[in-house]
Chain A
């Protein structure tokens, strides 16, 4: 992945989460991955198009999703209902949009697709042939993994 894309995503994730949730975060070590990997339980996917093609996946456990949604809505939510899903998708959308805005300031043109949420047990993400940047974020609510794969259109 182009080095210019890495920071906007990392910064966007941290600033957005900090602002929205008002919590302190610990950034894990960034790394690259290509093999298929388990999905923790809830995954939000936002597609990218334009000068590049790619996608961003926000992956977390169901518990984490519920806690984040509870925090953002100011109430205790215990079921994966519409409100929780909409909240988590919105979070994914906000982070990606912030990153894309930053990238546009740098002269790259990106478009977003509407976020899609997947949830279920024992899911696996087949990622073969696509190298992804993994940005692990440790929240008080649990771990959120941001999985960014972008490639240049040639």
Chain B
């Protein structure tokens, strides 16, 4: 396949060695343009009369007999709550539909779209991560954005459709959609970037004064101002990127935006910072030292208060960016002290080879006697060493999150304060990797300034770190 591509496009031959091309099939949903990697498309066809299946989720149109192969057909417009074209509202069952048949291994899935457009070649390097507020559809279905021929295409992650169907992931989608339904779908398309942000329901924060609620009426009054504010905010984040190496992403957006607008309100002008320490005064987490130590009791107590589904054969957890492994041992001990016969497996990964190499033989100088870790450590003349019954649960891997992995679904993921240090291109991939590995009902631990989208996650604990649960 790759070879053919090279031949058909001789002018690119020299480039293709360095630059991998991506071919996408483009199509429209409610007037917006989307793309799917052609390698996942089996065929395109027009079909009608899908066989209806009772009790299927609302976005499932039915099944279709594709030359003897029974495929299930879902409607992307229903799944993403986009308006159907007029004519189809009247006679949707009878109408001929544009169908893209996707292939996942030996399993096919048909998706109904408004209109299939064309095939175009783009370069992997040109794919940018999507801003969480950009699209009308849930960010988890978006691989990125690509600009081609003066048009912007949203690249869909279709693997999630296959995953979702087999793993029951759509169940959680239904919840988030029912919340979204409160605003009319057609109206949503018109919303601008700024308005979308302000209309999000405010995060309920009891302990932190700097996160405030924005009431709808104040938004209306200030709507004229927000356009200017938005430009100022963009200047502010550009400085964050170049001076602090901090890229605002969907997790860190709220904390940064709220701190910024507080400053604006107090001082009447936008912050004009030139050094990291100036930024850190407004956003203290920028200079907070990365912890390379075992957890404090606050963390252990937080884990203790969580309820886990332990019915599965394995209980997999993932500590990303684990450094030397302190947090991985801590998490393992916290979980085992809840249930000592838990079939636990801890994946501890980091992309710093020197640090992660220390993981399997980590020594600790001091352990507080009240810490649950004390039960899993033995004192030697060089410090504390973890006992085999704890250490054997851990698997240390030299791994970069942005490269993707083959890990199973995780019940708990630790991903504290690192995603915003990936540039925009990589951050989308990293966040996607983390979220896609989290089981339904699983927990994710993030830094105290990170907020996960409310459509999919519920805040469970907030203190010196936060724990969200996938719903």
Q: Do A and B bind each other?
A: yes
Neighbour of A126 across the interface among B2, B360, B408, CB < 8 A: B2
B6 to chain A, nearest CB (A): 8
Neighbour of A133 across the interface among B18, B357, B398, B406, CB < 8 A: B398
Residue of B nearest to A32 (CB): B400
Q: Which of A2-10, A77-85, A95-103 contacts B (4 or more CB under 8 A)?
A: A2-10
A35 contacts chain B at the CB level, 8 A cutoff: yes
Q: Mark A14-55, 1 if CB is under 8 A from B, else 0.
A: 000000000000000010111110100000000000000000
Given contacts A124-B2, A131-B404, contact A2 B20 (CB under 8 A): no
Q: Which residues of B contact A131 (CB under 8 A)?
A: 399-400, 403-405
Q: Which residues of B contact A4 (CB under 8 A)?
A: 360, 396
B395 contacts chain A at the CB level, 8 A cutoff: yes
Q: In the complex the two chains form, what is the Cα distance from A2 to B397 in whole Å?
A: 4
B124 contacts chain A at the CB level, 8 A cutoff: yes
Contact A1 B2 (CB under 8 A): no
Contact A3 B18 (CB under 8 A): no
Q: In the complex the two chains form, what is the Cα distance from A35 to B16 in whole Å?
A: 13
Q: Mark B344-359, 1 if CB is under 8 A from A, else 0.
A: 0000000101001101
Which secondary structure dominates chain B's binding surface? mixed
Contact A2 B405 (CB under 8 A): no
Q: Which residues of A contact B20 (CB under 8 A)?
A: 35-36
B64 to chain A, nearest CB (A): 29
Tally B residues with Cβ within 8 Å of A: 26
Contact B404 A129 (CB under 8 A): yes
Q: In the complex the two chains form, what is the Cα distance from A2 to B405 in whole Å?
A: 12
Chain A, 127-154, CB within 8 A of any chain B CB: 129, 131, 133, 151-152, 154
Q: Which residues of B contact A151 (CB under 8 A)?
A: 406
Q: Which residues of B contact A129 (CB under 8 A)?
A: 404, 406
Neighbour of B395 across the interface among A38, A124, A152, CB < 8 A: A152
A-B contact count (CB 8 A): 55
Contact B399 A1 (CB under 8 A): yes
Contact B403 A32 (CB under 8 A): yes
B175 contacts chain A at the CB level, 8 A cutoff: no
B17 contacts chain A at the CB level, 8 A cutoff: yes
Residue of A nearest to B396 (CB): A3
Q: Which residues of B contact A30 (CB under 8 A)?
A: 353
Q: In the complex the two chains form, what is the Cα distance from A129 to B37 in whole Å?
A: 15
Neighbour of A124 across the interface among B16, B124, B407, CB < 8 A: B16
Given contacts A3-B398, A32-B400, A133-B398, contact A122 B353 (CB under 8 A): no
Given contacts A4-B360, A124-B17, contact A32 B351 (CB under 8 A): yes
Which secondary structure dominates chain A's binding surface? mixed
Tally A residues with Cβ within 8 Å of B: 22
B13 contacts chain A at the CB level, 8 A cutoff: yes
Q: Mark B12-50, 1 if CB is under 8 A from A, else 0.
A: 010011101000000000000000000000000000000
Q: Which residues of B contact A34 (CB under 8 A)?
A: 400, 402-404
Chain A, 100-137, CB within 8 A of any chain B CB: 122, 124, 126, 129, 131, 133
Q: In the complex the two chains form, what is the Cα distance from A96 to B124 in whole Å?
A: 33
Q: In the complex the two chains form, what is the Cα distance from A38 to B360 in whole Å?
A: 34
Q: Which residues of A contact B124 (CB under 8 A)?
A: 35
Q: Which residues of B contact A32 (CB under 8 A)?
A: 351, 398-400, 403
Q: In the complex the two chains form, what is the Cα distance from A143 to B456 in whole Å?
A: 48
Q: In the complex the two chains form, what is the Cα distance from A122 to B351 in whole Å?
A: 30
Q: Which residues of B contact A35 (CB under 8 A)?
A: 20, 124
Q: Which residues of A contact B351 (CB under 8 A)?
A: 32
Residue of B nearest to A122 (CB): B17
Q: In the complex the two chains form, what is the Cα distance from A32 to B398 in whole Å?
A: 8
Q: In the complex the two chains form, what is the Cα distance from A33 to B399 in whole Å?
A: 9
A59 to chain B, nearest CB (A): 13
Contact A3 B397 (CB under 8 A): yes
A153 to chain B, nearest CB (A): 10
Given contacts A36-B20, A122-B13, A122-B17, contact A2 B403 (CB under 8 A): no
A-side interface residues toward B, CB under 8 Å? Answer: 1-4, 6-7, 30, 32-36, 38, 122, 124, 126, 129, 131, 133, 151-152, 154
21 contacts between A and B (CB under 8 A): A1-B397, A1-B398, A2-B396, A3-B356, A3-B359, A3-B360, A4-B360, A6-B398, A7-B357, A32-B403, A34-B404, A35-B20, A122-B13, A124-B2, A124-B16, A126-B2, A129-B404, A131-B405, A152-B395, A154-B406, A154-B408
